Every structure is written in structure tokens, then in C-alpha cells.
Amino acid sequence: MAYSKVTLTIFVFSCAFLLTTGLKNAVINLDETNWTDMLNGEWMVEFYAPWCPACKALESVWKDFGTWSEDLSIKVAKVDVTVSPGLSGRFMVTALPTIFHVLNGEFRQYKGSRDKDTFISFIEDKKWKLVEPVPSWKSPASIQMSIVSGFFRLSQILRQIHTQLMEDFGLPTWGSYLIFAVGTIFLGALLGFLLVCCIDLIYPPKTTGKVNDIKSKVDKKADKNSGDELADEDIKDDLIDDQEKDENNSQSDSEVKEKAGSNPNSPVVKKRKPRKE
């Protein structure tokens, strides 16, 4: 009877110890649905991939570091970029593993040694103050990075469709690429058409110039009998004046030639007409 009580007591304490250890070892998993939780409080977040050798080497260290989260008054989390590709685009993760320190929506990338003591010192000694925060235009919470995140998610969807076309439907690689090319051309043409329609709605073409031209033509036709006669008379007067000028010029040239013929040594000099003032 006493033996059973001792066994029961040991069992209870063992369960309590394992439960406490398990809770302390728990590292929060973040994804597309709950990543905004890191905007409140202080966090250390690791971006990893299951196939990454460096991430596998850091896994045990990161779990061990997670046991210190309560003592450091922080939260330790991790993000699988293969499950949440949008977050890799939002945080511009270009290498794995990548670690971020987050304090109330202010992001800093950790670039120190990847061991537990260095992580603890980074938080306890507030060494994160020596690291420049991510600029506002690159902040993962900004609108532009949300757009980038959408493109990353779209690329992941297209990759899955490409894999499905080859594996489930047996299409060759070039066949899948051809389908994507035709779809891209069609989508580009559709977006271009919509863009032109939006521009026409915002900035409609001006028609006042054409209307004025039509009105002027109508006015000319209406005044044809009166206006054209006056214009014809002016043209006739100008022609007559030009003919008289040509005759006078020809007469003066002939007189000059006759004078030059009487005196062969004298040069031919043409008189310059006086300018009309």
C-alpha cells in the first residue's frame, strides 16, 4: 500500500515536471493567419525551412532558447516559409535561417552568433538597441510589403498549379510553360484594356477643337457669296499690280542693256529699286 502511494506520488510529480517543461519548451508557430501577434510586445522570430541544413542545426538551440522566454519576458516564435511564403516576401527573407527581433512593431534583423547564451545576452543587455531598425518603407506591416507578400503567395500558387499539371495530367514541362505564357498574354491584354478604359473615364478626350473646325467650315459656306467675291477681287488686284511691276522691270533691263551696248567698256549696272516705306 505504501509502495503504491510512493509510485503514485512519483508519477504525479513526473507528469507535472513534463507538463511544465513542455510548456516552457513551447515555441510559438506563426503563419499567415496570426503573424500580426508579433506586433505587440517583444519577440524573437526565426524564419526557417524544413529542408534547410542550417535550420536543422539551429532547431535544438532555438527550442532551448524558448525555455527562457518567461524569464526574459519575451516570446519566442518560428515561421515555416514553405507553409507561409507570403511572410517570407513580407519580411524579405533571402537567407535561411533569418531571425528578427520585434518590439511593438519595430523590426530589427539579428545577425549575431546562433547560440543560446548570445540570444539571452542580446535580450538581457538590450544589444538590439545597437541594431538599426528596418526602415518604415520596408516595414513588414506597411502597405507596399503587403503587396509584395501577395505576389509571393501568387507565385506559390502558380508553382503548385505547375506541379499539378505535370504530375496529375502528365503534361511535359514545355506544355505547362506554354499554358502559363498564353494565360499571361491574355491577362496582360485584359488589364491593358481595363487601364485604357479607366484613363478615358478619368481624362476624356477633348472634342471642342473638332466642333470649332466644323463650325468654321459651316460659316465659310454660309458666307460664300459675300466673302469669296471680296477675296477674288483682292487676288485680281494683286495680280494686276504684279504684272505692272514685271513690265516696268523688263523695260528698265532693256534700257540698261542698250546703254551697255553703246559703250562696251562700261559695266552693266542695275538700278536698285527704292524700298517702299
Q: Which residues does the annotation mark as catalytic?
A: 52, 55
Tell me the residue type at 204. Answer: P
For residue 129, which of 97, 92, 103 has the smallest C-alpha distance?
A: 103
Indicate left, alpha or beta for 71 from its phi (over 0: left) and psi (-120 to 50: alpha). alpha
CA proximity to 81, closest of 92, 71, 72 = 92
Cell numbers at 141, concatenated: 506591416
Hey, what's the cell of 266?
A: 562700261
Contacts of 132 (CB under 8 A, 6+ apart): 108
CB distance 200 to 207 below 8 Å: no
Counting every residue, how long is the chain?
277
Cell of 49: 525551412
Would you list the DSSP string of 104-144? TTEEEEE-S--SHHHHHHHHHTTGGGGSPPPPGGG-TTSHH
Residues 205, 207, 212: CA angle, nearest 5 degrees: 160
CA distance 35 to 22: 23
Q: Measured between alpha carbons, how far is 41 from 103 in angstroms, rounded to an integer?
A: 6
